[in-house]
Amino acid sequence: MNEENRTLDIQSLETAIKNQDVKNFKIAAKELHYADLASVYEDLNDEDRSFFTTHIDLSIFPNILAELPDTLIEETLERFNVKEQQKILEQLIDDDRADILQDVSSEARQRYLALLRPEEMEATRSLMRYDEHSAGGRMTTNVARITSGMTVKEVLDILREDQESTESLARIYVVDKEGRLIGKVRLRHLAFSSWDTPIDDLVQEVDMTILASADQEEAAQLFSKYDMTILPVVDEYGRLLGIITHDDILEILEQESTEDIEKMSGIVGDPSEETYLNTSVRTHFKRRSPWLISLALISIFSGYIMFRFQNVLSSIFLLALYLPMVIAAGGNSGGQAATMVIRAMTLGELEAGSTIKVVFKELRLGILLGLFMGTCIAGITLFILPAFIHPEFPDHITLPLFALSVSTALAIQVSFSTMAGALLPIGARIIKLDPAVVASPGITTLVDILGMATYFTVARTVLSL
Amino acid sequence: MNEENRTLDIQSLETAIKNQDVKNFKIAAKELHYADLASVYEDLNDEDRSFFTTHIDLSIFPNILAELPDTLIEETLERFNVKEQQKILEQLIDDDRADILQDVSSEARQRYLALLRPEEMEATRSLMRYDEHSAGGRMTTNVARITSGMTVKEVLDILREDQESTESLARIYVVDKEGRLIGKVRLRHLAFSSWDTPIDDLVQEVDMTILASADQEEAAQLFSKYDMTILPVVDEYGRLLGIITHDDILEILEQESTEDIEKMSGIVGDPSEETYLNTSVRTHFKRRSPWLISLALISIFSGYIMFRFQNVLSSIFLLALYLPMVIAAGGNSGGQAATMVIRAMTLGELEAGSTIKVVFKELRLGILLGLFMGTCIAGITLFILPAFIHPEFPDHITLPLFALSVSTALAIQVSFSTMAGALLPIGARIIKLDPAVVASPGITTLVDILGMATYFTVARTVLSL
């Protein structure tokens, strides 16, 4: 299906809902992917959502439900009667089911769990034990699993029975009688072998596994470093618990990038699962205001320094011309350094022992950038400034001396901020804080204060004020 | 293999290289994944690289080569003789081969192309026609492709022959005699069907395809929205050209996130393929200095405004106390709004028609944040400030009036900056600029200037200076 057809189908679905036209609703819904159906549902008002849930085909609804943001899960499930709820919950893939049950109120969770068959309830409960952001919380237990000693025919017969509920058949895992993972078989090797081949002839070693308790980010790093399709999840005894598949990884990567980017702008809390437009002004406010007000209060220190240097500024008011520049240059250079270092950490490029190398690199860079910018500003002050402003100085001060003062302050501020920008994320990691949190605007506010102090201290010293 | 073993194997490989110990080098190399081998190679000096390329098993080297950063490709290939080069190039998967040939000098490219067999040369040339960042540039042509009318047995026989060179067998694509894509067959359905089943009974509709000329980001969005494993790439006539697989997508996502994050910090140029530590100070300098110096120059406007309002500041120097706060609050709130909007765009949440909704949302948010922060600062000024500083005002000015002035300026600055932060990325998209480029620090610098003007204009008006 191409993009254009999809847009048309979405439009006819929306029209059908608006007109409460059951027949065309069913036709359009059949054509669309569940991800599109979920987006449409999300944007409906209460009444239209009822129409949607009344007439949607119950066999595809579980897929739609799994795509909805956390905050919509319970109110959506409550639109169905108990029998329908049971049908929906039973059809969900087990990791989706566990996720969904983690997103509803504890009262609803008990009710929903009670609707499941005993073995499903057990599987769901055991998945819910793991943190939502751990490998165990991400895995599915619907893994193709066989024990050694069978023939290809026997394996194919077993797999055929379970084929609809098994998330991926690309790798079939072989376990011993204690459930410990001993190897894998590729479906292509089964398909191309004669039916009487012993399965043990086809078993290959498993490259990588991950502990259920490991962070989801670790799983994502393994996937992208080693070009994996499926990652088996094991417990501390090496028993196969489930698998993480590439679609879980895409979700993890999207979530982690959004988190990093948002933290770097001082936005608090977990990224909303809803889209930007569907997130309420209230939620946006709650996520943005804490850092905004904290940083504003901290900025008063910067203002206080300026206030205390009143006599320096009053003696040569031309100093005001470069004040915002020196301050801002610190925030910008510190922000760049922090971004580079944080990104390198996220991509797993900086091991714990590389701090010295980073310090040395950013020290050289900071000095280079500081000298470069200081020189530019000195040149501008000496050769361009006089054409626009006639500078008035006290007797003992000359234009070159003034240029020396502002360019020295700029060079110090840029060098220092570059170092600070690189070191703060590393320091944050050492004390187990998320590096992205300390990135700009946190760094900006900090180096603003230092820049203010540097600027006036250098001016007072160089210009003997 | 677990994390600990891997670290040990890497260490013994490094030791073997240092000691020029061929036997242990071969043992350790055998244990390691090519991605790890590539990381080790990247960190070696010239002499050790020669040792590595002399003794590494030529059959795994193509995989290592594909993992190396662009800048290392040519010098690495040149360490081999022509016969070895030919062997390496022949073994590469076609999309990797095309990528690699795009990264070398044109002289080397001609030499390498001449080493290929005619049909490989043809395939490589046709892949190189597509932009590296398009769907065509990312796809592999090693796709499992059959024509309709066969039986399961015939299909399995054909696939068995090509199984080693085919990137994925999870989906087998069915084409008509003009090569147009008509459907797909899943390997699991082949495996579970009797050998005389006509293949046409198993053909399913293809959900999505992408044009070879489409941007790689579009492919990534389709993958994550529709939980896909494999995306077929077609030309404008619907002919199947190749497939994009999930490992291509992980690479695209990593690249696009890094690009966005770096642009948002004013770092220019494509993200380096080398790690942070392996990138030279010179390259870092080149990527960071252009924005730093440009922004510094623009900041002079901010300073000029302050310089021109000398008399306002001199009349009530206490205004300096809140000046940095008002300025910085603009940058922070604008930066947050820009981050939210840019991220929503990247995730495909904001269609072109939603500008009005964004404006309305950020307008409400901006006013809310502005009023909240203004009220806080008014309170602090009235009730906390007098405990620390005894404010001296000219006769006609009172503390409440002063508080009104600074909190009004703050409220205006925050409201306005929030709007600006949300609108600039949208504006950038309309004029086909990358939204991430205009994000902070660009927005910060712009709202700094406006904040300076707002602060002094409000003060002059409210305080009648």
Would you call B88 exposed, middle or buried from its count of C-beta atoms within 10 A (0-12, 13-18, 19+)? buried
Contact residues, A window 352-411, toward B, CB-based 8 Å cutoff: 354, 357-358, 361, 364-365, 368-369, 372-373, 376-377, 380, 389, 410
Question: How far, CA to CA in Å, does B96 sit from each of A9, B88, B100, B123?
Answer: 37, 12, 6, 12
Interchain CB distance below 8 Å, A321 and B300: yes
Shortest CA distance to A300 belongs to which of B374, B380, B325? B325
Q: What is the mean pLDDT of chain B?
A: 88
Residue B416's pLDDT band, with cuts at 50, 70 and 90, is: very high
H/E stretch holding A143 reads strand A143-147
Residues of A in contact with B289 (CB under 8 A): 369, 372-373
Contact yes or no for B193/B214 (Cβ under 8 A): no
Quick check: B237 contacting A, CB < 8 Å?
A: no
- Report the DSSP beta bridge partners of residue A183: A174
Q: How far is CA B302 from CA A242, A280, B457, in A?
A: 58, 35, 13
Q: Do B325 and A224 touch (CB under 8 A)?
A: no
pLDDT tens sequence across B33-65? 888 899 899 889 999 999 999 999 999 999 999
Strand partners, A240: A234
Asked if B257 reaches chain A (Cβ–Cβ under 8 Å), the answer is yes
Tell me which residue has tokens 């077929």.
B232
Tell me which residues of chain B, numbers 58 to 87, contact chain A at a CB-CB cutoff of 8 Å.
none
ipTM of the complex: 0.78
**For range B219-241, the mean pLDDT:** 89
**B229/A208 touch (CB, cutoff 8 Å), yes or no:** no
CA distance B193 to B150: 14
- Look at B321 and A336 and tell me if their CB atoms are within 8 Å: no
CB contact under 8 A, B208 and A365: no
pLDDT in the model for residue B103: 86
Q: Among candidates A253, A203, A206, which has minimal Cα distance to A232?
A: A206
Residue ranges of A 424-453 with Cβ closer than 8 A to chain B: 440-441, 444-445, 448, 452
Helix B106-114 crosses helix B70-77 at what angle (to 10 degrees)?
60
A80 neighbors A113 (Cβ within 8 angstroms): no
Residue B70: its pLDDT value, please? 83
- CA closest to A247 among chain B residues: B227
Q: Residue-wise over A77-98: b if at least 16 C-beta within 10 A, else e?
A: beebeeeebbbbbebbbbbbbb
Chain B residues near residue A414 by CB distance under 8 angstroms: 292
- For an interface test with B, the pick among A250, A263, A375, A384 (most B C-beta atoms closer than 10 Å) comes out as A250
Closest partner residue to B349 (CB to CB) among A276, A292, A377 is A276
CB contact under 8 A, A322 and B300: yes
Q: What is the pLDDT of residue B273?
A: 66
What distance in Å separates residue A35's CA from the closest CA in chain B? 6
Nearest chain B CA: its distance from A71 CA (Å): 18
Express each pLDDT in B343-362 by its tens digit.
888 777 777 677 888 888 99
The CA distance from B411 to B417, in Å, is 10
The answer to whether the Cα torsion of A415, A420, A426, A430 is positive or negative is positive
The secondary structure of A269-282 as a DSSP string is: SSPPSS-TTTS-HH
pLDDT digits (tens, 9 = 90+) for A287-296: 889 888 999 9
Phi, psi of A134 (to 5 degrees): -105, 170
| Three-state secondary structure string covering A80-106 | CCHHHHHHHHHHCCHHHHHHHHHCCCH
Residue A344: what are its φ and ψ, rounded to 5°?
Answer: -60, -40
Name the residue facing A452 among B261, B324, B448 (closest C-beta).
B324
Helices (H), B265-318: 281-308, 310-315
Our CA-based measurement puts residue A409 at a distance from the nearest CA of chain B, in whole angstroms, of: 13
Q: What's chain B's Rg over C-alpha atoms?
A: 31
Task: Name which residue leads in pLDDT, B27 or B434.
Answer: B27
A160 contacts on B by Cβ (under 8 Å): 192
Contact A448 B170 (CB under 8 A): no
Is the CB of A444 less than 8 angstroms away from the CB of B328? Answer: yes
- Tell me if chain B has a CB within 8 Å of the CB of A324: yes
Chain A residue nearest residue B448, CA to CA: A324
Q: How far apart are CA A127 and CA A130, in angstroms?
A: 6
Q: Please give the Cα distance from B390 to A189 (Å, whole number).
A: 84
Strands B240-245 and B230-234: antiparallel
Contact at CB, A343 and B303, closer than 8 angstroms: no
C-alpha distance from B342 to closest chain A C-alpha (Å):
10
Write the burial class of residue B35 (CB in 10 Å: 0-12 exposed, 13-18 middle, 19+ buried).
middle
User: What's the pLDDT score for residue A264?
Assistant: 79
CB distance A80 to A88 below 8 Å: yes
Q: Name the DSSP class of B354.
A: G
> Which DSSP string do the residues of B50-114 spell out, in sequence order?
HHHHHHS-TTTHHHHHHHS-HHHHHHHHTTS-HHHHHHHHHHS-HHHHHHHHHTS-HHHHHHHHH
The shortest C-alpha distance from A124 to chain B (Å) reads: 22
Question: Confidence class of residue B301 from pLDDT cuts 50, 70 and 90?
Answer: very high
Contacts of B318 in chain A (CB under 8 A): 307
State the Cα–Cα distance between residues B267 and B174, nearest whole angstrom: 46
Q: What angle do CA B156, B159, B162 make, to 5 degrees?
A: 155
- Identify whether the C-beta of residue B308 lies closer than 8 Å to the C-beta of residue B448: no
Cα distance between residue B257 and residue A341, in whole Å: 15
The helix or strand, by DSSP H or E, that contains position B28, with its residue range, turns out to be helix B22-31
DSSP labels, A394-442: -TT--HHHHHHHHHHHHHHHHHHHHHHHHHHHHHHHHTT--HHHHTTTH
| B267 touches A: beta carbon within 8 Å | yes
Q: Is B211 helix (H, G, I), strand (E, B) or coil?
A: strand
Residues 186-225 of A with CB under 8 A from B: 187-188, 190-192, 207-209, 223-225
Closest residue, chain A, to B280 (C-alpha) = A361
Is there a contact between A276 and B317 if contact means CB atoms under 8 Å apart?
Answer: no
Residue of B nearest to A248 (CA): B227
Please tell me the predicted confidence (pLDDT) of residue B270. 73
Give the chain B residue whose CA is nearest to the CA of A314. B314
Enumerate the H helices of B347-398 as residue ranges: 355-383, 385-388
Residues of B in contact with A234 (CB under 8 A): none
- Give the pLDDT of residue B78: 94
Write down the pLDDT at residue B405. 96
- Write down the pTM of the prediction: 0.78
Q: Is the CB of residue B199 less than 8 Å from the CB of residue B212?
A: no
CA distance B107 to chain A (A): 31
Q: Where are the alpha helices (DSSP H) in A227-280?
A: 246-263
In this complex, the residue of B191, B357, B377 whose CB is nearest that of residue A277 is: B357
Q: Say if CB B345 and CB B435 are below 8 A apart.
A: yes
- Residue A205's CB is within 10 A of a number of other CB atoms, namely 8
Task: Using a CB–CB cutoff of 8 Å, tell me whether A262 touches chain B.
Answer: yes
Task: Give the pLDDT confidence score for residue A251 in this predicted structure.
Answer: 85
The C-alpha atoms of residue B159 and residue B442 are separated, in whole angstroms, by 54
A38 contact B CB<8A:
no
Interface of B with A in 276-305 (CB under 8 A): 276-277, 281, 284-285, 288-289, 291-293, 295-297, 299-300, 302-304
* Shortest alpha-carbon distance between residue A239 and chain B (Å): 14
Token pair for residue B97? 């081969």
Smallest CA-to-CA distance from B133 within B286, B270, B272, B279 is with B270
What confidence tens digit (pLDDT) does each residue in B98-153 have?
Answer: 888 988 999 999 999 999 999 888 888 888 888 888 999 889 888 888 888 888 88
pLDDT at A165: 66
The pLDDT, as a whole number, for residue A133 is 86
Q: Burial level of A45, CB count in 10 A (0-12/13-18/19+)? A: exposed
Nearest to A307 among B160, B275, B318 (CB): B318
Burial of A109 (0-12, 13-18, 19+ CB in 10 A): middle
Burial of B251 (0-12, 13-18, 19+ CB in 10 A): middle
Best mutation site among A209, A276, A354, A449 for testing chain B: the one with the most B CBs within 10 Å?
A276
Three-state DSSP class for A227? Answer: coil
Q: What part of A 145-174 touches B (C-beta under 8 Å)? A: 156, 159-160, 163, 169-170
Q: Is there a contact between B192 and A281 if contact means CB atoms under 8 Å apart?
A: no
- Predicted pLDDT of residue B217: 87
Which regions of chain A are under pLDDT 50?
A: none
Q: How confident is the model at residue B240 (pLDDT cuts 50, 70, 90)?
A: very high
Q: Which residues contact A204 (CB under 8 A, 6 or more apart)?
A: A183, A184, A185, A186
Rounded mean pLDDT of B170-188?
89
**What pLDDT score does A439 carry?**
67
| CB pairs A-B closer than 8 Å | 338
For residue B368, the distance in angstroms to the closest alpha carbon of chain A comes to: 8
Query: Distance of CA B49 to CAs A69, A198, A350, B68, Å?
Result: 50, 44, 22, 13
Rounded distance between C-alpha atoms, residue B11 and residue B8, angstroms? 5
For A15, which DSSP code? Answer: H
Tens digit of pLDDT for each residue in A201-259?
999 988 889 999 999 988 988 888 887 888 999 999 999 999 998 888 888 888 888 88
For residues B427 and B425, give the distance between their C-alpha atoms in angstroms, rounded to a whole number. Answer: 5
